[in-house]
Amino acid sequence: MTVPATTRPASPVSTRSGIVAHRGASADYPELTLVAYQKALEEGAEALEVDIRLTADGVPVLLHDPRTTRVGDRDLWVHASTLDELSGLDVGSWHPLHRRPEPVLTLRSFLVLAEAYPQVRLFLETKHPVPTGGRVEAALRDELRYFGLDSPADFGESRALMMSFSVLAVRRFRQMVPAVPVVQLRERRNVLKSWPAEGCGAQFMGPSIGALRARPWLVEYWRSRGLGTYCWTADDPADLRLCRDLGVDWVGTNVPARALEALEDRPAPVAQDAPYPDTRG
């Protein structure tokens, strides 16, 4: 957070990490649904994170897994299903707190929602490996172009950030849309393999919270190389404060309201226990 804002999109609050709603307010609402994102915005999220996959007819949709078994009322392969087939799914009733039907959200519908919140950043993850290969990055490029998000004045002004665990996908997108900053995601077991991403023009590294617990020095190292940090996925107050104290620029969380309390050292309200969803990227 010490690098000028024109270098990369900085946290909107200089004294703490920016809050990225990981798949929306996904502890309390079904992940990657409109209601999860609306609630995250109401709770004060400063950025929203999405997972993008491509349907059989080439439409980018927000689904984390390659199959809909975990969140849907039917088992479909995303890449082998049309938008019409996926639109008939209920991806909300599975959630133990929400228990109400919700439809699959397209990337375009998500970006329409985001239009009403121009101050909110968008962390857009393309999922790999997938049979559709690089077509998912091309689809993301086309949607960003449609909404005028593909050509910010500089990295610091960009609302959109592309990210992926795939180094090839990050490199591919940098070539397609050079004005939009990119995040190279890394898990704990392969975080040291992120070094080559510097040569791909990444503006951020994206370690897991487990990686930062094990190697907190990484944040300072990356900062010395001119790189920002996006950490996923921190829900525990101690982890959130660790990110803040290390100078992590952005932190992904399933509990945006409670994360705000922790990062600003305010007493958290008493809340009902909420099961956390799958936190893998």
Distance in angstroms (rounded) separating the CA atoms of residues 203 and 87: 35
pTM of the complete model: 0.92
Inside any domain, residue 271: no
Task: Kindly give the confidence (pLDDT) of every residue in the chain, 281 residues in length, as a single tens digit, with 9 standing for 90 and above.
Answer: 433 444 789 999 999 999 999 999 999 999 999 999 999 999 999 999 999 999 999 999 999 999 999 999 999 999 999 999 999 999 999 999 999 999 999 999 999 999 999 999 999 999 999 999 999 999 999 999 999 999 999 999 999 999 999 989 999 999 999 999 999 999 766 555 555 556 667 899 999 999 999 999 999 999 998 899 999 999 999 999 999 999 999 999 999 999 999 999 865 555 445 454 565 57
Distance in angstroms (rounded) separating the CA atoms of residues 271 and 66: 33
pLDDT for 173: 96
How many C-beta atoms lie closer than 10 Å to residue 178's C-beta? 12
Burial of 278 (C-beta count, 10 Å sphere; 0-12/13-18/19+): middle
How many domains does one find in the chain? 1
Inside any domain, residue 152: yes
What CATH number is attached to the domain comprising 192? 3.20.20.190
Distance in angstroms (rounded) separating the CA atoms of residues 34 and 218: 35
Inside any domain, residue 240: yes
- The residue from 22, 79, 95, 128 that is catalytic is 22
The length of the chain is 281
pLDDT for 276: 46
Inside any domain, residue 270: no
**Element containing residue 250 per DSSP (H, E):** strand 250-253
pLDDT for 201: 79
Beta carbons of 247 and 216 less than 8 angstroms apart:
no
Distance in angstroms (rounded) separating the CA atoms of residues 227 and 233: 19
- The residue from 64, 79, 95, 128 that is catalytic is 64
Inside any domain, residue 1: no
Inside any domain, residue 115: yes
Inside any domain, residue 277: no
Q: What domain range is 125 assigned to?
A: 18-263
Inside any domain, residue 212: yes
pLDDT for 123: 98
Which residues pair with residue 21 across a beta bridge? 48, 253
- Look up residue 29 and give its two tokens: 């609402």
* 98 is annotated as an active-site residue: no
* 22 is annotated as an active-site residue: yes
